[in-house]
Chain A
Amino acid sequence: MSVKLSTRQVGDVTVVDVAGRITLGEGSSALRDLMREMVSKGQKKILLNLGEVSYIDSSGIGELVSGFTTVANNGGQLKLLGLTKRVKDLLQITKLYTVFDVHDDEAGAVRSFA
């Protein structure tokens, strides 16, 4: 399975539920396209729920970073929710864990945007 992306609105926060694999090719380009679309629509509070992400490679990490900087450059915030152990480990060894605002529970994550 490649990546599956679905968006929902919780107040003024757009939650993106990401499931599957974020790898070079279809997975990372689908995420990139969605992020660009959200930024172009003026969405400034984006929460990426990675709880169902089974696999992420360096290209996928690159897309997370790209999304983070793109949203920030447009005056918004991108935060992460529900990292699996493997994704958390990857962000830690690449020193990106402290760059992102990472949350374990959705309600707290949504409140943190206020």
Chain B
Amino acid sequence: MGKNTGGEAETVDQFLDSSLDSVDSAEQLVLDVARKAGFQEEDLHKIGMAVRESMVNAVVHGNQYSAHKKVRVSVSKGQDRLTVTISDQGKGFELEALPDPLSEDNLLRNSGRGIFLIRAFMDELHVRRLSPAGTEVTLTKYLIRK
């Protein structure tokens, strides 16, 4: 694990196995940083949920539980935001190609709501393909001090 702190900025980096246990580990890792950043309970719940959904995508759909592939989780605490980057080594996907889970045809599908929930719970979501393989998902939540 890499950890780099200085002033108010902090970045933590981890490589995790492609297993469901890593979903819990990533959630804890991110929530520890988010708490220190000053996020309150409701936002912590949303951040945790978005991280879990992203990790499930990386482990299940990206790396397909491969023992030879890792998921990289990086979380950065800035002055006004938390940024989480989750990268897998899978085949990748097109964000625009994902079906809309709110459309009538898809409403009763058993799956396909993960990215939709991430968008609902975070302020920003960016997805990019990695070379030679993999997907990097970046989630941002802004800290609104009350």
A contact residues vs B (CB 8 Å cutoff)? 23-25, 57-59, 61-63, 65-66, 68-69, 86, 90, 93-96, 99
Contact = CB atoms under 8 A, between A and B. Distances in A.
B130 to A, nearest CB: 24
Q: Which 6 A-B pairs have the closest CB atoms?
A: A62-B110, A58-B113, A58-B114, A66-B110, A25-B20, A95-B102
Given A93-B120, A94-B102, A61 B113 contact: yes
B33 interface: no
B108 interface: yes
Contacts of A62: 109-111, 113
A34 to B, nearest CB: 16
Contacts of B108: 65, 68-69, 99
B49 interface: yes
Nearest to A85: B42
A94 B116 contact: yes
28 contacts: A24-B20, A24-B23, A24-B60, A25-B20, A57-B53, A57-B56, A58-B53, A58-B56, A58-B113, A58-B114, A58-B117, A59-B111, A62-B109, A62-B111, A62-B113, A65-B109, A65-B110, A66-B110, A69-B108, A86-B45, A90-B117, A94-B101, A94-B102, A94-B113, A94-B117, A95-B102, A95-B107, A99-B108
A59 B56 contact: yes
Contacts of B49: 57
A96 B110 CA distance: 12
Interface string B73-93: 000000000000000000000
Contacts, number: 45
B141 interface: no
Nearest to A94: B113
A58 B16 CA distance: 22
Interface in B21-43: 23
Nearest to B52: A57
A89 to B, nearest CB: 9
Given A24-B20, A57-B52, A62-B110, 19 more contacts: A23-B52, A24-B23, A24-B60, A25-B20, A57-B56, A57-B117, A58-B53, A58-B113, A58-B117, A62-B109, A62-B111, A62-B113, A66-B110, A90-B117, A94-B113, A94-B116, A94-B117, A95-B102, A99-B107
A58 B23 CA distance: 14
